[in-house]
Amino acid sequence: MPTSLVLLSARLLDPVTGGPLPDTALAVSEGRISALGDDRRIRALADSSTTVVDLGGAVVTPGLVDGHLHPVSGAELTQGLDLSGHTGLDGVRGALAREARSLPPGAWLHGWGLDPNVFGDRPVSADALAPVLDGVPALLQLFDAHSMIASARALELAGVDGPRRFDQAAEVVCDDRGRPTGLLLEDAACELVERAAPRPTAAKRRERLATALRRMAASGLTGGHAMDANGDSLSLYAELDAAGELPLRLRVAPWCQPDTGSDGLRALIEQQGTAGRLWRTEGVKLFMDGTIDNGTAWLERPDRHGRSTHAFWPDPEDYTRTVAELHRAGVPTATHAIGDAAVRHVLDSVEKARAQGGGGLRHRVEHIETVPDDTLRRFAEVGVIASMQPTHCCDYTRADHTDNWSRRLGEERASRAWRCRDLWDSGATVVLGSDWPIAPYAPLGVMAGARHRRPSRDPSQPPHGPEQALTALEALQAMTVNPAHAAGEERVAGRIGVGRRADLTVFADDPLTTSDTDLPGLPVVLTVLDGRVTHRDPNLS
C-alpha cells in the first residue's frame, strides 16, 4: 500500500502511561498507521505522492474526541447574537438594543448563550428585556439549550397567548393571570414559537455546519459523539462526507422521545449502522430529565423553588421498558440524566436490562451533575459509562454557591457538583465532552476545566469543588482512550500504534506538562483524520 503521510521529528505520547513512545516518526497508509520507527526508516517509506511533515519536536497524541456534542443543531443555534459573555442585565440589554437597531424592520432577533444568572433574584422572563425588544420578534436561547425567552412580539406571531399541555415535561411559563412570561421550557414549548420564525436555506445550513466542523478540527478534535440525528442532519453529514469535507469522525445517536412509540422504536433499531466513511449511526439518545437551572431536572427532593420533581418521561417505567427493548436489540443507549433521581432511575433500568443478558453493550449516562455517594459505585458495578462536561461546572456555577444552579439545589447537593474524581476513583469509565453549543468545543479548554474547575474566562477565581479535579493524564485519557472504549473501538482508536486509525492531534508542546491555566492556549499545529490533514498551522514546515 502506498504511504500517504509521514510525520517526522515527533514526540509520540502514549495516553495510557503518559510517557513517550520510543519512536520519533510514523507512516500512514489507507487511513491507518502503517509503521513506527526513527526518522530515517520512516522517511524511506515516502515517495513522490507522500505528504511529509517535519514536526520539529511537536507532541503527537491520539486524536481528541468530544464525548458529547451537537454539530448540526449547534451550528444553527450559535447564529445570531452571542450573549454568553454577559454577566448582568445591563450588558444584555445593551447588546440586544444594538442588535435590534441593526436589523431591518420585522426581522427576527436571535440570541444564544444567555446565562440565567444575569437575572439575579428576578424571574427569568421577557419582561426584564421588554424595553429594548418592544415590537421586535426575538428568540433568546438560554445557555442550557433546554429553554428560551420569547419576546412579546414573537409570542404574538406564534399565536401563543396562554398555557399549553404537552405529552412530555415542557411548559409555557405563565403568570398568575395565565399570560405567558416569555420563558419556554424544553423543546416542545420552544418549538411553538420557533416554527413562526424564518428558517435558513439548506445551503446556508450546510455552510454553517461545514464551517463549525472545520473550526473544531483546528481546535484539535478528530471526532465526536453526536447526540442527535434530528431533521436532515444525517443527510448533511453524508453530503460533506461524500465531498471529502467532513473533518471529524462522528458517531451519531438519534433521539428516542416518550412519544416515539413502538413503530418509531423499531425504526431507530433498523437505522443502526447507517453510515458513510467517517460517520455512523450507533446508539440511541434518550432523556430522563431536563436541567436544574430551569427547574426541569428530576431530583429526589424538590429544588428550593419546589420544582424539578418529575421525570421527562411521564411514565418512568415506560423508559425502563424502552431501554430493555433497545438492549435486547443490541443498541447501546445514552441517556441525558442530570438530577440524582434521574441518574438513579437510568442505572436501575440498565441493570434490569442487563439481567436479560447481553452484558457487552456499553450504555451511558450523560451529564451527571449531582449524585449522592451511594450512586457513584453503581456506574462501575452496572458497567455504565459516565459522560461528563466539567466546563459547565466551571462556567455556570460559582465556588461560593451564589449561582442559580447552586441556589436551586441548596448547599448539600451543590457540594457534590460534577463528581469527576469520585466517579473515576469508583472505577467508572469517565468520558469528557463539551455539549457544544452549551459550552465551547475546544478540547484543550474542556481538559483544562477538568483539571482546574475554575471559570474559563478568569481562572484566577476560586475553583468549584477542587477535590473533584482530574489529573492531566486522566483528562487526556477521558478524551482519547475512554471515548474509544465507550464506542467499542479500543482496538482501533484511542492510542498510537501500527494498525490503528491515523486520527492524530499534534501540539506545540506536551499537554501533560503544560499548566492547566496555559493549556487552552497551547497551539494545535496539526490535526489528522483518517490519514488526511484537516488542520495545519501555517508556520509548520
435, amino acid identity: D
pLDDT for position 15: 98
**Following DSSP, what letter does each residue of 14-40 receive, concatenated?**
-TTTSSBPS-SEEEEETTEEEEEE-HH
Altogether, the residues listed in the chain come to a count of 541
Taking domain 202-492, whether its CATH number is 3.20.20.140 is answered by: yes
pLDDT for position 353: 97
**Closest of 199, 192, 247 to residue 224, by C-alpha:** 247
pLDDT for position 167: 81
Asked if pLDDT for residue 541 goes beyond 80, the answer is no
Asked if pLDDT for residue 131 goes beyond 90, the answer is no
**Closest of 203, 247, 207, 249 to residue 226, by C-alpha:** 249
Q: Is the pTM of this model over 0.75?
A: yes
pLDDT for position 358: 78
| Residue 229: Cβ-neighbour burial (10 angstroms; 0-12, 13-18, 19+) | buried
Cell numbers for 408, please give them. Answer: 436551586
Q: How confident is the model at residue 406 (pLDDT cuts 50, 70, 90)?
A: very high
441, amino acid identity: Y
Instruction: Provide the CB-side half-sphere exposure for 211 (13 A, CA).
Output: 11
| Residue 262: Cβ-neighbour burial (10 angstroms; 0-12, 13-18, 19+) | exposed
| Beta pairing partners, 249 | 223
Cα–Cα distance measured from residue 60 to residue 270, given in angstroms and rounded to the nearest whole number: 38
C-beta atoms surrounding 56 within 10 Å: 13
Asked if pLDDT for residue 360 goes beyond 90, the answer is no
Cα–Cα distance measured from residue 67 to residue 224, given in angstroms and rounded to the nearest whole number: 6
Residue linked to cell 460534577 = 418
What are the residues whose beta carbons fall under 8 Å from the beta carbon of 436, sequence distance 6 or more?
A: 66, 69, 70, 71, 74
**Closest of 426, 444, 430 to residue 478, by C-alpha:** 430
Cα–Cα distance measured from residue 532 to residue 224, given in angstroms and rounded to the nearest whole number: 17
Cα–Cα distance measured from residue 219 to residue 236, given in angstroms and rounded to the nearest whole number: 22
Rg (CA), the chain: 23
* Domain boundaries 80-196, CATH class: alpha beta
pLDDT for position 1: 86
C-beta atoms surrounding 263 within 10 Å: 8
Cα–Cα distance measured from residue 446 to residue 221, given in angstroms and rounded to the nearest whole number: 11
C-beta atoms surrounding 518 within 10 Å: 12
Cis peptide before 104, with omega less than 30 degrees from 0? no
| Residue 220: Cβ-neighbour burial (10 angstroms; 0-12, 13-18, 19+) | buried
pLDDT tens for 240-284 read: 999 999 999 999 999 999 999 999 999 999 999 999 999 999 999
Which three-class secondary structure state does DSSP give residue 209? Answer: helix
The helix (H) or strand (E) run that includes residue 430 is strand 430-432
Cis peptide before 437, with omega less than 30 degrees from 0? yes
| Residue 10: Cβ-neighbour burial (10 angstroms; 0-12, 13-18, 19+) | buried
CB-based contact 136:97 (threshold 8 Å): no
Q: Mean pLDDT over all residues of the chain?
A: 96
Asked if pLDDT for residue 226 goes beyond 80, the answer is yes
Average pLDDT over residues 349-365: 93
Cell numbers for 232, please give them. Answer: 436532515
CB-based contact 227:70 (threshold 8 Å): yes
pLDDT tens for 136-161 read: 999 999 988 889 999 999 999 999 99
pLDDT tens for 28-59 read: 999 999 999 999 999 999 999 999 999 999 99
Domain boundaries, the chain: 80-196, 202-492
Burial readout 421-444 (b: 16 or more C-beta within 10 A, e: otherwise):
bbbbebebbbbbbbbbbbbbbbbb
Instruction: Provide the CB-side half-sphere exposure for 477 (13 A, CA).
Output: 17
C-beta atoms surrounding 473 within 10 Å: 16
Residue linked to cell 428516542 = 256
Q: How confident is the model at residue 169 (pLDDT cuts 50, 70, 90)?
A: confident
Asked if pLDDT for residue 290 goes beyond 90, the answer is yes
335, amino acid identity: T
56-60, 185-189, 417-421: which range is least confident on average? 185-189
